[in-house]
């Protein structure tokens, strides 16, 4: 441990907050992690587990805008919207539309590629410190389609980005996906493999074990709801919680989609909304998949987990607190049975979570503009599992006054977001 000695409170025990707590404790700070749920039980519990080092394209691109009308009327398509929420969502959507301009897309792609280039190393540090090797699967992840033309068309912009930023990828030979994954329907003949990407076998357990390591290292966990930071200007001294006020020298806001209110209390107006997502857990077929597989024509992913095969797909734009509606993700199960003929299709469980998303698809990593001891660490949209360890390390660097070694200007809280 290096010399730290500051009292740091981390709000939010998802992948981002847990990793921040682990790195901050390793710096010798007196760290308290606050969450109203058990650590890892929020959105970080139900994701697809892909450490996706190539996901540098923003969600909002000219292509997304062009396809929008068709997407909104497709009952099993990858986008749904709760129309009653539209008035609240509109300002965010307008910024998303502005963020689709080619120059913005190019800037975000470059910024995310820079972060992603450091993401694997940060996972290694966490895996080593918390002893998580048994929870990580090697073998890459795979995108498949019926034929090469469909695969090439669907993946053209991302392959261009892979080439530009030197991201490892392999176009498979005709029929090779089935050789790699005998569980796949043989008619899925085309594949794009991200060979060096790893996958987490149980994302909730991954976060739980990080928090266990943090506690073993001397960190403290408080199970409580945070509701306020005092309004006085200058450094924040307290976080008010249902377990009483917590005194602090530094506050890290890593509350996922619920960070927006706390960021505002710290003087940062961040347009953050929920891209809600669902999963269905299915019994493993025999044989099952060895790595996560994304089905390009259907827009969903099947990821082998310890508890079964996890089907994730799609975005629902709605309030983060609206009740779940899993009908759309359930409708994907019969399609999953076609692409994986051995799948019985018995549903073991369904789940819903909230990807915390900014209009420009960039996370918010940095100091709050008005409160110099408040640090923002949220907004990791579809790649929070991938970037959580790196963000945790960067926050620890910033609090220690170390140079983070990455240009964090594209992620600063006071940027324009579109
Ligand atoms: C279906 C789906 C699939 C995904 N697949 C992948 C993938 O394969 N790879 C990838 O990299 N990413 C993936 N993601 C994205 C990833 O899961 C998220 O970006 C990530 O989990 C966000 O982590 P977080 O720590 O910011 O938020 P969370 O995990 O939501 O943690 C925030 C925590 O803050 C707590 N909190 C909030 N408000 C308060 C309060 N007032 N008081 C106390 N506690 C509070 C919450 O209880 C919660 O535990 C996926 C997401 C979804 C929905």
Asked if the model's pLDDT at residue 3 lies above 80, the reply is no
> Tokens at residue 350, please?
């369904």
The model's pLDDT over 240-294, given as tens digits with 9 standing for 90+, comes to 999 999 999 999 999 999 999 999 999 999 999 999 999 999 999 999 999 999 9
Sorted by sequence, the CB contacts under 8 Å of residue 214 that are 6+ apart come out as: 18, 21, 22, 25, 31, 33, 130, 221
Domain locations along the chain: 7-411
Asked if the model's pLDDT at residue 1 lies above 50, the reply is no
Tell me the CA–centroid distance for residue 254 and ligand 1, in Å.
Answer: 9
Asked if the model's pLDDT at residue 416 lies above 70, the reply is yes
The model's pLDDT over 156-215, given as tens digits with 9 standing for 90+, comes to 999 999 999 999 999 999 999 999 999 999 999 999 999 999 999 999 999 999 999 999
DSSP label of 340: S
The model's pLDDT over 33-44, given as tens digits with 9 standing for 90+, comes to 999 999 999 999
pTM over 0.85: yes
Tell me the CA–centroid distance for residue 266 and ligand 1, in Å.
Answer: 21
Ligand 1, CB within 6 Å, residue ranges: 12-17, 34-37, 41-44, 46-50, 52, 225-226, 254-256, 258, 277, 279, 312, 353, 355-356, 378, 380-386
More confident residue, 67 or 173: 173
User: Residue 188, preceding bond cis, omega within 30 degrees?
Assistant: no
The model's pLDDT over 362-412, given as tens digits with 9 standing for 90+, comes to 999 999 998 999 999 999 999 999 999 999 999 999 999 999 999 999 999
Q: How large is the average pLDDT for residues 221-226?
A: 98
Helix (H, G, I), strand (E, B) or coil at 273: strand
What pLDDT does residue 400 have?
A: 97
For 324-360, b/e burial (b = at least 16 CB within 10 A) is: eeeebbeebbebbbebbeebeeeeeebbbbbbbbbbb
- Residue of 40, 42, 377 to test ligand 1 pocket, by largest number of atoms within 8 Å of CB: 42
Asked if the model's pLDDT at residue 66 lies above 90, the reply is no
Q: How large is the average pLDDT for residues 325-341?
A: 96
Question: What is the overall mean pLDDT for the chain?
Answer: 96
At the top level of CATH, which class does the domain 7-411 belong to?
alpha beta
What pLDDT does residue 309 have?
A: 98
> Tokens at residue 343, please?
């799948």
Tell me the CA–centroid distance for residue 383 and ligand 1, in Å.
Answer: 10
Asked if the model's pLDDT at residue 234 lies above 90, the reply is no
Task: Answer yes or no: are the C-beta atoms of 377 and 365 closer than 8 Å.
Answer: yes
């Amino acid at each position: 441990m290096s010399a730290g000695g500051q009292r740091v409170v981390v709000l939010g025990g998802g992948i981002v907050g847990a990793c921040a707590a682990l790195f901050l404790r390793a710096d010798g700070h007196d760290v308290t992690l606050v969450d109203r749920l058990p650590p890892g039980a929020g959105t970080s519990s139900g994701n697809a587990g892909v450490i996706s080092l190539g996901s540098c394209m923003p969600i909002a691109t000219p292509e997304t805008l062009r396809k929008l009308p068709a997407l909104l009327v497709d009952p099993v398509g990858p986008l749904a919207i709760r129309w009653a929420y539209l008035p609240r969502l509109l300002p965010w959507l307008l910024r998303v539309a502005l963020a689709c301009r080619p120059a913005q897309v190019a800037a975000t792609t470059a910024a995310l590629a820079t972060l992603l280039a450091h993401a694997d190393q940060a996972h290694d540090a966490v895996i080593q410190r918390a002893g998580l090797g048994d929870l990580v699967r090697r073998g890459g992840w795979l995108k498949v389609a019926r034929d090469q033309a469909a695969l090439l068309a669907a993946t053209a912009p991302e392959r261009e980005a892979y080439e530009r930023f030197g991201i490892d990828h392999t176009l498979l030979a005709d029929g090779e996906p089935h050789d790699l994954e005998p569980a796949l329907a043989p008619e899925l003949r085309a594949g794009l493999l991200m060979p060096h990407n790893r996958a987490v076998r149980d994302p909730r357990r991954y976060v739980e074990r990080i928090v266990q390591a943090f506690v073993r290292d001397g960190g403290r966990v408080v199970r409580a709801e945070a509701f306020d930071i005092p309004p006085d200007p200058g450094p924040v001294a307290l976080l008010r919680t249902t377990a009483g006020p917590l005194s602090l020298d530094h506050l890290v806001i890593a509350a996922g989609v619920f960070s927006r209110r706390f960021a505002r209390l710290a003087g940062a107006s961040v347009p953050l909304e929920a891209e809600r997502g669902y999963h269905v857990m299915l019994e493993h077929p025999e044989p099952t998949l060895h790595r996560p597989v994304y089905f390009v024509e259907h827009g969903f992913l099947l990821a082998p987990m310890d508890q079964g095969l996890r089907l994730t797909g799609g975005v629902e734009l709605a309030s983060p607190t609206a009740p779940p509606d899993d009908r759309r993700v359930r409708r994907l199960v019969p399609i999953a049975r076609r692409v994986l003929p051995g799948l019985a299709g018995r549903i073991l469980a369904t789940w819903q979570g909230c990807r915390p998303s900014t209009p420009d698809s960039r996370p918010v990593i940095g100091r709050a503009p008005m409160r110099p001891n408040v640090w923002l660490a949220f907004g990791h949209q579809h790649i929070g599992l991938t970037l959580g360890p790196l963000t945790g390390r960067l926050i620890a660097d910033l609090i220690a006054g170390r140079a983070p070694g990455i240009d964090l200007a594209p992620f600063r809280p006071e940027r324009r977001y579109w």
